[in-house]
Amino acid sequence: MAINENNALKATHICYLAGTGGGKTTAVKLMGLVGKCVAIFDLYGDYKYDGRKAGPFNGLGGRPVYHYSNRNSFAQAFISAWSSGLAFAVAYRPEFPKNISAEKLKRAKQAELHWFASLVWEASDGNRQLDVIIEELAKLSDTIGKDDSIVGELATGGRKYGIALHTIFQRSQEVPKTIWSNSPRKVLGSQESQADAKRISIELDAELSDVYQLSKMNSKYEDERLHYIVKSKGGIGNIEPVVIHLKSGKSEKLTFEDLRAT
C-alpha cells in the first residue's frame, strides 16, 4: 500500500493538451518534465524503444522504455525496477481481442487502466517521486465531473505519496475536472478550433492571440519546431512559451515577445 504520507509535498501533476498532431507526446518526451522513475500506460505504443536506433523520439526522449503486454509481466518488471532504487521507464501496453465490440473494448481498456493505476498507487512512497504517464485519458473516461476511480485518486491523493501524474488528451472539457483541477502544471499545444482556443486561453490566463500564434507557428514550422504555452505552477498566470526543436530534440524557453515575433 502507499506509504510515508508527506503532506509537505507540492502537487506536480501535469496536463498536456493539444489537437491531433499538436505535439502532446513530443512535449512529454522532450520538455524535461518527467522524472527518473517512470510508469507509462501506453495503449498505442507511443513510447516504443528500439535499441538499434538513436534519437530523441526513441523511447522517452532517448531513454529506454521496456514494454509489457500482460499484467503479470508488467507487475514483475515494475516492482523489480521500483525496488531497485535506480532510474527506470516501464510501460504497460495490454493486448485485446481483435473481434471485440467498441463498447466492450472501451470497458476492457478501462479495466486495464484501473489495474495499472491501482498497482502504482499501492507502490507509491512519499519519500520518492514516481512519474505516472497516462496517454489519451479522455478516451477512457466516463465523466467530465468528479472522477471517483483510482485514476481520480492518483490525482487527488497522489501528491502526498510522491506521485507526479502526467495526463495527455486533446481537449480540457473532455476529461474529469478532478484531473484538470488537481494538475497545477499545464502544457498547451496547437488547438483545432477557435472555441477550444478561447476556452483554454481563459483557463490558462493566456492572451487569445498568443494561443492563435502558437497554433499558427506550429502549422508553418511543423517539421522544424513545435511551440507551446506552459503553466509552470498553480495560481493565476505563471505561464511562458516554450519551443522544442525537432531535429535536436532540445527545448528552449521563450518570452511572449519571442513568440509574437516568430
Q: Across the chain, what does the average pLDDT equal?
A: 92
For residue 262, what pLDDT is reported? 72
189 assigned to some structural domain: no
Q: Which residue has the cell 478501462?
A: 110
**Domain co-membership, 123 together with 204:** no
- Give the integer Cα–Cα distance in Å for 228 and 234: 17
Question: CA-CA distance, 187 to 105, in Å (whole number)?
Answer: 29
Query: Of 191, 210, 201, 195, which is closest to residue 236 (Cα–Cα)?
Result: 201
What 3-state class would DSSP assign to 104? helix
In this structure, the answer to whether residues 133 and 84 fall within a common structural domain is: yes
pLDDT at 4: 95
Q: Rounded to the nearest 5°, which phi and psi values hold at 169?
A: -160, 175
- Looking at the structure of the chain, the number of domains it has is 2
Domain membership of residue 161 (yes or no) is yes
Angle at 44 between CA 39 and CA 46, to 5 degrees: 65
State the pLDDT confidence band at 154, using cuts at 50, 70 and 90: very high
Where among 183, 206, 232 does a domain terminate? Answer: 183
Residue 168 falls inside a structural domain: yes
Percentage of residues in the chain having pLDDT higher than 70: 99
What residues contact 69, with CB distance under 8 A and at least 6 apart?
A: 92, 93, 94, 95
Spatial contact of 229 and 211, defined as CB atoms under 8 Å apart:
yes
Name the domain boundary from 183, 217, 248: 183
166 and 220 share a domain? no
Give the pLDDT confidence score for residue 145 in this predicted structure. 66
In 172-181, which positions are buried (b, 16+ CB within 10 angstroms) versus exposed (e)? Answer: beebbebbbe
- Structural domain harbouring 262: 194-262
pLDDT band (50, 70, 90) for residue 143:
low
pLDDT in tens, 184-209: 999 999 888 888 889 989 988 999 99
Q: 242 or 143, which is more confident?
A: 242
Q: Where are the alpha helices (DSSP H) in 7-88?
A: 24-30, 71-84
What does the alpha-carbon distance between residue 154 and residue 160 come to, in Å, rounded to a whole number? 10
Whether 240 is in a domain gets the answer yes
Domain boundary among 156, 183, 210: 183
Residue 253 lies in a domain: yes
Q: What is the pLDDT of residues 74-128, one digit of tens each?
A: 999 999 999 999 999 999 999 999 889 989 999 999 999 999 999 999 999 999 9
pLDDT recorded at residue 140:
84
Burial class (CB in 10 A: 0-12, 13-18, 19+), 87: exposed
* Three cell numbers, residue 150: 483510482
The CA distances from residue 94 to 8, 12, 32, 175, in Å, are 35, 27, 27, 22
Residue 82's pLDDT is 98
